[in-house]
Structure 1
Amino acid sequence: MMTTNELRVSVIAAFLAAAACAPRPPTAPPVPAPVPVMLPPAPPPVVERAPIPDVNPALPAVPHVTGPLEIKVVYPPAEHLIQSRDSNFVFGSVGNGDAGLTVNGVLTPVWPNGAFMAWVPNPPADSPRYEIVATTGLDTVRLTRPVRIALPPPAVPLPRDTATPGDTLPPGVPPPTAGAQRPPADTVTRLSPVLYASLIGPAVYPSDTDRVVTGYAITGGLQRWFLMPGTVVKVIETRGTDAHVQLDSSQVIRIAKSDLTMLAPSYKPIRLRAGAFRVQARDEWTDIVIPLSARPAHLVEVRPGELSLILYNTSTTRKRPVTVRGTAAGYLASARSEREGQSVRYTFALRGPAYGYLPLWEEKGLRFRIRRPPAIDSTAPLKGLTIAVDPGHPPIGATGPTGLWEPVPALAVGLRTEALLREKGANVAMTRTTDSAVALNDRPAMARRANSHAFVSIHFNAVPDGINPIRVNGTATYHYHLHSFTLAEEVQRALVRQLSLRDNGVKRDNFAVIRGTWMPSVLAEGAFLIMPDQEAAIRTPEYQERYARGIVEGLESYFRALARARR
């Protein structure tokens, strides 16, 4: 008989055995871990952008900038008076080359470095401002640039000096006071009797031509008279800040009143009489010495192979023309004097192209010095020559869209030009080698005192209001005197080849630094600093080197051709 404990154990064992033999319920499959859903990346925001005009593959690549948006307008400055008729340019930078930009709603190109150049209609006169908006799609910034708009003069006819019954005046125009006169602001005042004045001086050094008084044609244009201080002139009338000066019966010019010292009304003018001239030949120049009792008003004209000197209000002791032959070894072939109305004309035939000249006043005489071109080795045309290099500015100077100031790259190009010229065996007279300002008139004076054989001024261009720089940018070279034209041609040709920009040609203009007469003088505007791609190129040593090489190649070509032209 089983005990109670034995029975309990037996029952448990039987239960366990039955449980082991019973079929097992199916096992539930494991629950898989959630799989993350990979969504496609969000598309970049769509930014409407204006295409960049006229991409020039020959320029260094514009660097790509992706900084924060910040609109900086370089031009026009706030409250600037816009002088254009209907449209104008606006330029600056936005800090990000991927931005889209509008100026007064006009889509505007942005270059990869964030610089922009807009050509837009002028804002209305009753709302004179540019609303500028830049966006990357993720960020948007705005800037308002207030300006002023030059208004055209009202098209209202002026009333007559008196109003009589029956006259009809335009609406809003009050009748004038009877007999009232309304002369223009710059009224011409005739002097009766005429007065005489002395041109202000004296020059810094004896026989120095660097200090001159400039006379201008009454009708405008580029003609200039460069007169010696101490010359006495006849003033026949005044207008505003100018005096009208009569040189002879057929020639009247204008001179600033500030350049004159009026003489006493009792002054009695001296009729100038030129004595027999003589020729003095030297190795580097030939002098024509003309005896005179006082400084004459004069004009020099340059033609191929010829110079003319006109002495106004001057007579000669000879009634017939006089011709003197030059020496066999000299550069002057002949000199001829003849009367021409109330003046005397001297004509100098040369044995080659005109190269340089100086009118020098000495006691009781005028010495007209004609410069002979230097001896040139055609295989090394710059060797032994002295070249004046003038890095343009400061003071003033243009500024590009990202803030590059013209004097900075002009100096960099000038210093590189100096190095290349020295490699060619030339001596170099630099008008500046630092950031310090040099006065305009001091620059050609420095070149003359160094007896330089050529003068080159280095600049970068901009345009005034109303001219579209996107259409007119390029390379140009300027001269003033005719004997500088050939040098300008050669420098222009070489710069266009090196800088790969539009050929804007050789131009004549009255820039102070190229009015010197002792040597051929030119001013180069290599590239447009206000165009974004050209400003970016100008920043690079590579492009500065190309500019310098263009100048040196142009000088080499000019002097090589000059060696062939001498006879």
Structure 2
Amino acid sequence: MPNLIEKLLILVAAVAVMSAPAGAVPPKISVVYPHLGDTLTTVDSTFILGSVTPGATLWINGSRTAVHEEGGFIAFLPVFPGAFNFELMAIIGSDTSVQVWPIYIRPHLEFSYDSLTIIKSQPGLTLGLRKGEILSVEFMGTPGCIASFSLPGIADSVPMAEILPVANSSRANSAFGTLAANSPKRFGGHYQGYMEVPETVLDDSLPVMFHLRAPTLAELVEILKKRPVENIDFAMLNLLRYESAAKSDSSGTFVRFNPSEYPSMVEFKDSVQTIRIGPGKGYITIFQPRGVLAQATGYEGDWLKLRLSPSEIGWVNKGSVRFLEKSRPPVISYPKTVRTTASDTDVTVIVPLAARHPFRIVEEDNKTLTIDLFGVNTDTDWIRYDSEDKLIRIITWRQVEPELFRLTIRTNHSIWGYDADYEGNIFRLKLRKPPKNVRKVKNLVIVIDPGHAADPGAVGPAGLKESEANLAIASALRDKLSAKGAEVIMTRDDMSHVPLYERPSIAKRYGADLFVSIHNNALPDGLNPFVNNGVSTYYYHPHSIGLARNIQRELRAATGLKDFGTYHGNLAVARPTQYPAVLVETAFIILPEQEALLKNPEFQKK
């Protein structure tokens, strides 16, 4: 029925256009998002936004769509997998315009039982693994089959298990949506397997081969008996037509066992190196300085595996390190002393070491900081405190395990910020003293960062660029703070381009006491903007959460908009440790009503 209605509306529009009097100007239609021909992720509904001539009536795919007085619109509509058209019709009086807006919706991955299919997960990947480590592989394929993998000359047939799907929430929905669970693909087809790396030295790369075999009747009965009712698909019986038929294919993944160039010492080349929990995954520790040494034990594609301690590993990108001589042994440091030195603005904790070691700093609570030094064993007899220091209450140490030395610093005041670095091989942690009066902004150095610039950020239905709205709000905030005696630094005060990672550098250069980045929000595809919108504030380090919560509370009260939440967010401008830093999303620029508010100077001052 909806398709019939759409066709009738388009037919009516076409007749209206043909019968319009000469000189009539049809209403304009401008689509801002999605872009023409975009490929969207797998969703069953999504939004379209743009503008029409003010005063027009708008229909999209047969649904009446509200139009703001300035012409902006946004609609959240059902979509279907594959090639999909939004069909827009705008009417003013007897004047009508029609626009067809094609996009592509990525379909769900589905398998038939008419053939055996293998879809590779990570083609082109090469792994270097050592004895005792685990080689894990996976692929998607026809459900209900018998799967295995092999390494020619090493392992003939390693069984793989089929992992049944469960309902879960997409990443975007879990963070920014309603947490509603998505319906899973019911019948599986996700196969996983593993093997322990043997002692065999395999310097040449071997391909991992995948194998899929149709089950026998007895095997299929056992497969169906073990499945929950909701995961049973009796169409699997079609597999019996191919009983014992098999398919093999290269996974595209190659492996080397116990490669001769590992283990090897490496030196960090970047000044802000990050060590991750897995290739391309979350952080173990950030801001590792140039010259830090670590032992590489293997690799996965472009990622190196590091041995941090007997029980901890980390990963760094190969391009961020320099390989040292193969004969270079790991350096173990045995610090004898820890001491502190105080100044008017900070207290520095000093640990002399024999080399630059990886470190990890964790804020356990608002008055407790731990420092993990990897590759370090205790020989610590002395901790010397600066008598003028009133910030640090006590420092304790313990050996967590061999090559993992932990300092715990407890303070008398809440942590304001800190900076860790090496001077030669001396580890230095500089703890900032809080401002004398944290409840007033007078004399504070506050860095305001209007987000985006050359990159416009999100764009509103009527064409307002986020970069422009951010600058207007930041300028109004600058004027208010300056009037109260703050020293305000803007990362930009016009539309000049400022690279993302230059913005925290500006704050550090000026000795920022606070950092606030101004943004305006949009949503990922598939989320309903009429439900999911409002003001939100983001922090990264725990010492910034108080600022984030206070700003969020004031934003809600001042704007009257909904509460979209306070978030821990892994955002580049929020990651620096030297000061409390937050990013605020003051409104949703993709909603016509809020886009109009963002143009209003009175709203900008709130």
Instruction: Give the TM-score range, shorter chain.
Output: 0.7 to 0.9
Cα shift at 1:328? 5.8
Which letter maps to 1:200?
K
Q: CA RMSD in A?
A: 2.7
Cα shift at 1:93? 0.4
SS in 2 for 1:505: strand
Cα shift readout 1:492-523 (whole Å, capped 9, x = no counterpart): 11111111111122100110011111110000
Which of 250, 256, 274 does residue 311 from structure 2 map onto? 250
Which letter maps to 2:298?
E
Higher mean C-alpha deviation, range 218-227 or range 112-121: 218-227
Name the residue aligned to 2:29.
Answer: 71
Name the residue aligned to 1:284.
Answer: 345
Q: Please, what TM-score do these two structures have when normalized by structure 2? A: 0.72
Higher mean C-alpha deviation, range 348-357 or range 390-399: 390-399
| 366 and 436 in structure 1: CA distance in 2 versus 1, 3 angstrom threshold | same
Cα shift at 1:223? 5.3
Distance 1:455 1:188 in 2: 47
Cα shift readout 1:375-429 (whole Å, capped 9, x = no counterpart): 1175xx1111110111111242111101111111111111111111110011111
Task: For 1:445-484, list aligned pairs within 5 A.
Answer: 445-484=505-544
- Cα pair 1:286 1:330 within 8 Å, conserved: no
- Cα pair 2:537 2:548 within 8 Å, conserved: yes
- For the pair 1:313 / 2:375, whether they are aligned, the reply is yes
- For the pair 1:198 / 2:267, whether they are aligned, the reply is yes
| 403 and 164 in structure 1: CA distance in 2 versus 1, 3 angstrom threshold | closer
- For the pair 1:393 / 2:452, whether they are aligned, the reply is yes
Cα shift at 1:163? 7.4
Distance 2:416 2:298 in 1: 37
- Cα pair 1:198 1:230 within 8 Å, conserved: yes
- Cα pair 2:461 2:592 within 8 Å, conserved: yes
SS in 2 for 1:410: helix
Distance 2:453 2:467 in 1: 6
Distance 1:315 1:226 in 2: 22
Distance 2:245 2:27 in 1: 55
- For the pair 1:407 / 2:467, whether they are aligned, the reply is yes
- For structure 2, the 5+ residue unaligned runs are 1-8, 10-24, 112-116, 118-140, 149-209, 217-238
- Cα pair 2:332 2:354 within 8 Å, conserved: no
SS in 2 for 1:182: strand
| 231 and 140 in structure 1: CA distance in 2 versus 1, 3 angstrom threshold | same
Which letter maps to 1:89?
F
Distance 1:174 1:234 in 2: 47
Name the residue aligned to 1:114.
Answer: 71
Which letter maps to 1:370?
L
- Cα pair 1:299 1:310 within 8 Å, conserved: yes
- Cα pair 1:189 1:238 within 8 Å, conserved: no
Distance 1:164 1:537 in 2: 61
Cα shift readout 1:60-97 (whole Å, capped 9, x = no counterpart): xxxxxxx961110000011101114211110000112x
Which letter maps to 1:101?
L
Cα shift readout 1:234-285 (whole Å, capped 9, x = no counterpart): 2233223322222112222222222222334333221233231111111111
- Cα pair 2:305 2:313 within 8 Å, conserved: yes
Name the residue aligned to 1:204.
Answer: none
Cα shift at 1:353? 0.5
SS in 2 for 1:269: coil
Task: For 1:535-550, list aligned pairs within 5 A.
Answer: 535-546=595-606
Cα shift at 1:337? 2.2
Higher mean C-alpha deviation, range 397-406 or range 256-265: 256-265
SS in 2 for 1:113: coil
- For structure 1, the 5+ residue unaligned runs are 1-46, 48-66, 202-210, 547-567
Name the residue aligned to 2:486.
Answer: 426
Distance 1:524 1:485 in 2: 12
More strand by share: 2
- Cα pair 2:339 2:383 within 8 Å, conserved: no
Which of 53, 63, 85 does residue 129 from structure 1 map onto? 85
SS in 2 for 1:277: strand
- For the pair 1:236 / 2:236, whether they are aligned, the reply is no
Cα shift at 1:307? 1.1
- For the pair 1:86 / 2:44, whether they are aligned, the reply is yes
Name the residue aligned to 1:152.
Answer: 108
Cα shift at 1:363? 1.6
| 539 and 243 in structure 1: CA distance in 2 versus 1, 3 angstrom threshold | same
Q: Please, what TM-score do these two structures have when normalized by structure 1? A: 0.76
Distance 1:243 1:137 in 2: 66
Moved runs in structure 1, 4+ residues, more than 4 A? 158-171, 187-192, 219-224, 322-326
Distance 1:79 1:195 in 2: 48
The total of aligned residue pairs comes to: 463
Which letter maps to 1:199?
F
| 441 and 189 in structure 1: CA distance in 2 versus 1, 3 angstrom threshold | farther
| 347 and 141 in structure 1: CA distance in 2 versus 1, 3 angstrom threshold | same
- Cα pair 2:308 2:314 within 8 Å, conserved: yes
- Cα pair 1:474 1:528 within 8 Å, conserved: yes
| 349 and 536 in structure 1: CA distance in 2 versus 1, 3 angstrom threshold | same
Name the residue aligned to 1:304.
Answer: 366
Cα shift at 1:131? 1.1
Which letter maps to 2:86?
Y
Distance 1:118 1:364 in 2: 59
- Cα pair 2:339 2:385 within 8 Å, conserved: no
Cα shift at 1:324? 5.0
| 131 and 317 in structure 1: CA distance in 2 versus 1, 3 angstrom threshold | same
SS in 1 for 2:334: strand
Which letter maps to 1:391?
P
Name the residue aligned to 1:103.
Answer: 60
Distance 1:102 1:170 in 2: 50
- Cα pair 2:442 2:484 within 8 Å, conserved: yes
Which letter maps to 1:315?
N
Distance 1:468 1:279 in 2: 53
- Cα pair 1:115 1:402 within 8 Å, conserved: yes
Task: For 1:355-394, list aligned pairs within 5 A.
Answer: 355-376=416-437, 378=439, 381-394=440-453
Which letter maps to 2:471?
L
Cα shift at 1:120? 0.8
- Cα pair 1:190 1:238 within 8 Å, conserved: no
Cα shift at 1:221? 4.8
Which letter maps to 2:327?
S
- Cα pair 1:70 1:94 within 8 Å, conserved: yes
- Cα pair 1:326 1:333 within 8 Å, conserved: no
